[in-house]
Amino acid sequence: MDSVYLLWHVRADDPYKEDAKLIGVYRSQESADAAVLRVKGQPGFRDRPEGFEVSVYPLDKDHWTEGFVSVRYDEEG
């Protein structure tokens, strides 16, 4: 196995803030798709069925190799 499949549900309430939930990590795209079918009727998910995303994540590879920068927003924007 060279990669895993991460299933996310993402709610973008505005262009700068995202509410993302990692639902699970799967061995195949098919397993991730099956998980969508299992949870899409649950509270929170059923209101935004377009929010499901599957991303392929390679194993044994460094990520964020150049670091990161945090950007903070106050409540007013």
Enumerate the H helices of the chain as residue ranges: 29-39
Condensed to tens digits (0 to 9), the pLDDT of residues 8-53 reads 998 876 565 578 899 999 999 999 999 999 999 999 899 899 999 9
| Residue 53 pLDDT | 94
- Picking from 27-31, 32-36, 57-61, 69-73, which range would have the lowest pLDDT averaged per residue? 69-73
Q: Is the pLDDT of residue 59 over 80?
A: yes
Q: Where are the domains of the chain?
A: 3-58
* d(C-alpha 20, C-alpha 53), whole Å: 10
Helix (H, G, I), strand (E, B) or coil at 35: helix
pLDDT of residue 71: 77
Q: Are 55 and 8 in contact (CB under 8 A)?
A: yes
Closest CA to 53 of 15, 14, 9: 9
* pTM summary value: 0.79
Q: If you ran DSSP here, which 8-state letter would residue 40 be given?
A: T
